Chain A
Amino acid sequence: MLAQEFMRNALVAGSFVAIACGLVGWFVVLRAQVFAGDALSHVAFTGALAAAALGIDIRAGLFLATILGGVVMGALGDRARADDVVIGTLFAWTLGLGVLFLTIFTTNGSGSNGTAGVRVLFGSIFGLSTTDVRISVVLAVAAVAVLAVLGRPLLFASLDGAVAAAQGVPVRMIGLVFLGLVGLVAAQATQAVGALLLLGLLAAPAGAAHRLTGRPYLGLGLSALFAVGSVWLGLTLSYVFPTLPPSTMIISTAVGIYVTAMSLSPLRRLVG
């Protein structure tokens, strides 16, 4: 299995994407911002297709759109937590724009490019080039570094925003930067599992970790571990059974872990 280059690329890129998703996702679940992640995943779709329609590099559109989307969402809401209705309204329109770009792209593009929409929506982890892998490694390391710096004040601000603000923590600014970070991770995960499925990688491993433990460091570790495990298991399954698409297998594994954690959550008292 490891002899194949596409498989090695998928495993390396997938692992780094998973670590970033697991860590950032833990905070997303803690802050109850899964819906914002959902919206960003759709923004990713529109951004990528806008880039495709304009004929520029898809990645540029992807990252620009999601990071911008994150910051806009942060700016719109009070205390950097946008209202669900505002998010919903915004991204319903974003999706409509995405459809427009898809139409423009498929009308202008050649037939061989007609798959771009599907690739963006559902990912193409087996089609990653060595450059893609390098980019995702660098971005994952950058995301983890930002999180390491931001971690303690972010945790404080997430658990008790009012007290954190009173202590001089820039709660609003942190919220904005965090949503921008979620945007970055979302764009990165879009390449691996696709815009429609990245929510599973953000929410399911982190949700499982939150079920099992309330301790931050242990939870973060578990969340990253679950995400990486899902990617590895999912890729292996998809390699062994070629009819099964890799993104579905990754997400199914992650959700399987979540369901297991849910049924084990009485264990939480033991773990702490």
Chain B
Amino acid sequence: MGGSWWSARPTCTGTMLTSSVFTGLSWNPVDDVHALFTYPFMQHALAAGTIVAVMAGVIGWFMVLRRQTFAGHTLSLTAFTGASAAVLAGVPIVLGYFTVCGLGALALAGASGPRRSQGTESAATGSIQAFALGLGFLFVSLYHGVLNGLDSLLFGTFLGITSSQVLVLLVVAVVAIALVAVAARPLLFASVDPDVARASGVRVQLLGLGFLLVLGLSVAETSQITGALLVFALLVTPAATAQRLTTRPLAGVVLSVALALLVTWLGLALAYFSVYPVGFYITSLSFALYVLARVFA
């Protein structure tokens, strides 16, 4: 008992390592770029990565502005719970992602409030996060066959993305970005100065809940590509870099999207030509950009 369930695990993780089945980098960059677009799985991966990066760049900028990194991280971990619950229940994983991330957003909104102290609020967030992960682990251990998939749930895979998945991603991204675009002005106001915003009639509370829901939506979407543990890299790092470089909202959002796109494309390309996982490249590239921005700006 206790632990015996995972000792029966077959050999090492397959999904993350197969990225090197194709030929390595040649000396001809044109050939390399051509090779990148040859296979349908890679075309899907690039399309999905692009959609996810644009969305994470926009939503992440607001998340960093609102100092909701902890909430965002907690939501991104609930994605793991959603996926494992869906696998256990035998329903499409996408359904699990969106349902559980939505529930997580509601729970987080309930835990935060204008009258709560920072300490108790963060304790509540931390408790929600640990509970969600514990549940996820329970689902995984109840479902004995998923073990090989555990790594890809947590750390993502860009292989095997279907064109229908890309379509779902696109629809969700358009909806989320449209919602944020509609609410952009009051959201910006409420994020920068909630007290003044409330005094001038902006419904700060409602906006906060709405934003958490959109954040949950985008996290659910992003984690399908990057895995639950690495969503955060696309959400927080490009946005944080952008906010160090400019304080103007529109320029900041555009820059954040551009940076997210850059690291996603480069990360996918590097992962394609090497044995190491895409998550490592995306996090390292975005972190390098952040350090550069801190040093030079």
Identify the A interface with B (CB < 8 A). Answer: 6, 29-35, 37-38, 42, 84-93, 95-97, 99-100, 102-103, 106-107, 109, 111-112, 114-115, 117-119, 121-122, 124-127, 194, 196-204, 206-207, 210-211, 238-239, 242-248, 251-252, 254-255, 258, 262
* Of A99, A111, A115, most B-chain CB atoms within 10 Å: A99
A93–B287 alpha-carbon span in the complex (Å): 6
Our pick among A85, A126, A207, A252 for the contact of B123 (Cβ within 8 Å) is A207
Interchain CB contact under 8 A, B123 and A204: yes
Interchain CB contact under 8 A, A251 and B126: no
Interchain CB contact under 8 A, B280 and A88: no
Q: Which residues of A contact B2 (CB under 8 A)?
A: 6, 125-127, 238-239, 242, 245-246
Which listed segment binds A: B9-17, B31-39, B188-196, B213-221? B9-17
Q: Which residues of B contact A242 (CB under 8 A)?
A: 1-2
Interchain CB contact under 8 A, A29 and B119: yes
A247–B5 alpha-carbon span in the complex (Å): 14
Q: Shortest beta-carbon distance, B99 to chain A, in Å?
A: 20
Interchain CB contact under 8 A, B287 and A92: yes
Interchain CB contact under 8 A, B240 and A85: yes
Interchain CB contact under 8 A, B129 and A99: no
Q: Which residues of A contact B135 (CB under 8 A)?
A: 248, 252
Chain A to chain B contacts (Cβ below 8 Å), 23 pairs: A32-B119, A34-B70, A34-B125, A34-B126, A89-B287, A96-B233, A96-B281, A99-B230, A99-B277, A100-B276, A114-B13, A115-B6, A118-B150, A126-B1, A207-B126, A239-B2, A242-B1, A247-B134, A247-B137, A248-B137, A255-B130, A258-B123, A258-B127
**A245 and B141 contact, Cβ closer than 8 Å, known pairs A97-B280, A99-B280:** yes
Q: Which residues of B contact A251 (CB under 8 A)?
A: 130-131, 133-134
A243–B126 alpha-carbon span in the complex (Å): 25
**A202 and B126 contact, Cβ closer than 8 Å, known pairs A85-B64, A89-B290, A248-B135:** yes
A258–B128 alpha-carbon span in the complex (Å): 10
Our pick among A86, A106, A118, A199 for the contact of B12 (Cβ within 8 Å) is A106
Instruction: Encode B67-107 as 1/0 by CB contact (under 8 A) with A.
Output: 10110110001000000000000000000000000000000
Interchain CB contact under 8 A, B126 and A114: no
Q: Which residues of B contact A100 (CB under 8 A)?
A: 276-277, 280
Q: Which residues of B contact A96 (CB under 8 A)?
A: 230, 233, 279-284, 287
A107–B233 alpha-carbon span in the complex (Å): 24
Interchain CB contact under 8 A, B280 and A38: no
Chain A-chain B contacts (Cβ-Cβ < 8 Å), number: 226
Q: Indicate whether B122 reaches chain A with its CB closer than 8 angstroms.
A: yes
Interchain CB contact under 8 A, B137 and A122: yes
A97–B155 alpha-carbon span in the complex (Å): 11
A112–B131 alpha-carbon span in the complex (Å): 29
Q: Shortest beta-carbon distance, A100 to chain B, in Å?
A: 4
Q: Indicate whether B184 reaches chain A with its CB closer than 8 angstroms.
A: no
Interface residues on B, range: 35 or more
A84–B71 alpha-carbon span in the complex (Å): 11
Q: Which of B231-287 contact A (CB under 8 A)?
A: 232-233, 236-237, 240, 243, 275-277, 279-284, 286-287
Q: Which residues of B contact A107 (CB under 8 A)?
A: 12, 17, 275
Our pick among B11, B117, B138 for the contact of A245 (Cβ within 8 Å) is B138
**A103 and B276 contact, Cβ closer than 8 Å, known pairs A29-B119, A37-B126, A92-B230:** yes
Additional A-B contact list (16), CB under 8 Å, known A97-B284, A122-B137, A242-B2: A34-B125, A35-B73, A85-B64, A92-B286, A96-B280, A102-B151, A106-B13, A111-B10, A126-B2, A197-B137, A200-B130, A211-B120, A239-B1, A239-B2, A245-B141, A248-B138
Q: Shortest beta-carbon distance, A29 to chain B, in Å?
A: 5
**A29 and B123 contact, Cβ closer than 8 Å, known pairs A122-B137, A251-B131:** yes
Q: Which residues of B contact A93 (CB under 8 A)?
A: 233, 237, 283-284, 286-287
A102–B277 alpha-carbon span in the complex (Å): 10
Our pick among A31, A103, A200 for the contact of B280 (Cβ within 8 Å) is A103
Interchain CB contact under 8 A, A210 and B290: no
* Of A112, A251, A254, most B-chain CB atoms within 10 Å: A251
* Of A89, A90, A95, A118, most B-chain CB atoms within 10 Å: A89
Q: Indicate whether B179 reaches chain A with its CB closer than 8 angstroms.
A: no
**A88 and B240 contact, Cβ closer than 8 Å, known pairs A93-B287, A103-B277:** yes
Q: Which residues of B contact A239 (CB under 8 A)?
A: 1-2
